[in-house]
Amino acid sequence: MTRVLITGGAGFIGSHTADALISAGHEVRLLDSLSPQVHGPHRQRPSYLNADAELMVGDITDAVVVERALRGVDKVLHLASSVGVGQSMYDIEPYVRTNELGTAVLLQALANRPVTRLVVASSMSVYGEGACRTADGATVAPEERSLAQLRRGDWELADSEDRPLEPIPTPETKQPTLSSIYALNKYAQERMCLITGKAYGIPTLALRFFNVFGPRQALSNPYTGVLAIFAARLLNERPPLVFEDGLQRRDFVHVHDVARACVLALDGDQADDVLNVGSGQSRTIVSVAEDLARVMGRSQMTPSVTGKYRAGDIRHCFADITKSERLLGFRPEVRFEDGLANLAGYLAGQIAEDRAEKANDELLRRGLVA
């Protein structure tokens, strides 16, 4: 029987992947710090964790803890990470410590105790702006929008001659454009793992997750996935806050599909590569806020479109999943509408503290909102 260590395993994606691995006959050990921002102040084992999953409470930056967690382990899924573009722009040292130093500590331990497979969670944030097509039909990597452009509320992407660009699915071949500390962290994580894996003969795969949603996401964390942030607002009878004009496009993929992609990556033989994990579809942020309000029975809560821009945000990015389908056998199964209904059922019994406005005030105070 294969034993898998999931770092950050008590969290949103980790807990669902643990369920999927245990159902497939694997033994699972979880290493998690139970961060108060995600799990609350009491650092207790989450009630949703699979009873058959072993939980070790400890920090990914603690070499002694990591070495102990690796004992008897055959494969590793590295999910441990501080998550959030906005927060990463002012909590710089904690983000670098957890995301980059934590990965280095894990890799140092793996250099001494190699496993048969390593899968690391990366992020669509490494792309910066997603791929676009010009009016002439050429595929281009858009330039970052200037601060002057954003301050005048000119949100859309354009070429050097100010002609509009059409967003298209972003493939793994697009060069990274790192627009935030978080994006830099995730790119560093994937490169560190791929480099070390190749050097020590550990087959390694990096999965670039797009916007993951579903049950168990931390509702009181104002820097988690956008749907969870919107849900916290709606549970408190407040309208979702939407930046820019709300027409920015993203790719929303259900956590059950992401967990399945993780299992495919751990059980497969594809290595030394980077793969997108998304739905392959795009939706505007404002439409997603409206859809969530509707399934939660709060259609009257019209999204509040702020007309403001956050440092590190990009305009459009959604996944080209052709490579994942071909090499990993991954094809999303949960329709967005069904995923929203599943999320709404979970939310019906939840209480959330809405911290979105406080988080936005902090960004504004630091000049990170234009």
Residue 355 near residue 230 (C-beta atoms within 8 A):
no
Catalytic residues: 182
C-alpha to C-alpha distance for 253 and 43, rounded to whole angstroms: 28
Judge whether 140 lies within some domain: yes
Q: For every residue of the chain, which 3-state class applies, written as one string? A: CCEEEEECCCCHHHHHHHHHHHHCCCEEEEEECCCHHHHCCCCCCCCCCCCCCEEEECCCCCHHHHHHHCCCCCEEEECCCCCCHHHHCCCHHHHHHHHHHHHHHHHHHHHHCCCCEEEEEEEHHHHCCCCEECCCCCEECCCCCCHHHHHCCCCCCECCCCCECEECCECCCCCCCCCCHHHHHHHHHHHHHHHHHHHCCCCEEEEEECEEECCCCCCCCCCCCHHHHHHHHHHCCCCCEECCCCCCEECEEEHHHHHHHHHHHHHCCCCCEEEEECCCCCEEHHHHHHHHHHHCCCCCCCCEECCCCECCCCCEECECCHHHHHHHCCCCCCCHHHHHHHHHHHHCCCCCCCCHHHHHHHHHHCCCEC
C-alpha to C-alpha distance for 34 and 42, rounded to whole angstroms: 9
Mean pLDDT calculated for residue range 287-316:
93
Least confident stretch, 124-133, 313-322, 355-364: 355-364
The fraction of the chain above a pLDDT of 70, given in percent, is 99
Structure tokens at 304: 């509040």
Q: What is the pLDDT of residues 234-251, one digit of tens each?
A: 999 999 999 999 999 999
C-alpha to C-alpha distance for 261 and 276, rounded to whole angstroms: 10
Judge whether 155 lies within some domain: yes
Q: What is the pLDDT of residues 52-111, one digit of tens each?
A: 999 999 999 999 999 999 999 999 999 999 998 889 999 999 999 999 999 999 999 999
Classify residue 95 as exposed, middle or buried by CB count within 10 Å of its CB (0-12, 13-18, 19+): buried
CATH number at residue 289: 3.40.50.720
Mean pLDDT calculated for residue range 326-330:
97
Q: pLDDT at position 356, please?
A: 67
Strand 211-213, strand 283-284: pairing: unpaired
Q: What is the pLDDT of residues 115-168, one digit of tens each?
A: 999 999 999 999 999 999 999 999 999 999 988 899 899 999 999 888 999 999
Judge whether 57 lies within some domain: yes
Q: pLDDT at position 206, please?
A: 98
370, pLDDT greater than 80: no
Mean pLDDT calculated for residue range 324-342:
97
Closest CA to 218 of 227, 206, 209, 210: 227
Judge whether 305 lies within some domain: yes
Q: What is the pLDDT of residues 185-231, one digit of tens each?
A: 999 999 999 999 999 999 999 999 999 999 999 887 777 788 989 99
Judge whether 370 lies within some domain: no
How many domains does the chain fold into? 1
Mean pLDDT calculated for residue range 330-351:
92
pTM for the whole thing?
Answer: 0.95
> What is the domain range of residue 85?
3-365
The fraction of the chain above a pLDDT of 90, given in percent, is 81
Q: pLDDT at position 35, please?
A: 92
Q: pLDDT at position 37, please?
A: 87
Judge whether 302 lies within some domain: yes
Judge whether 72 lies within some domain: yes
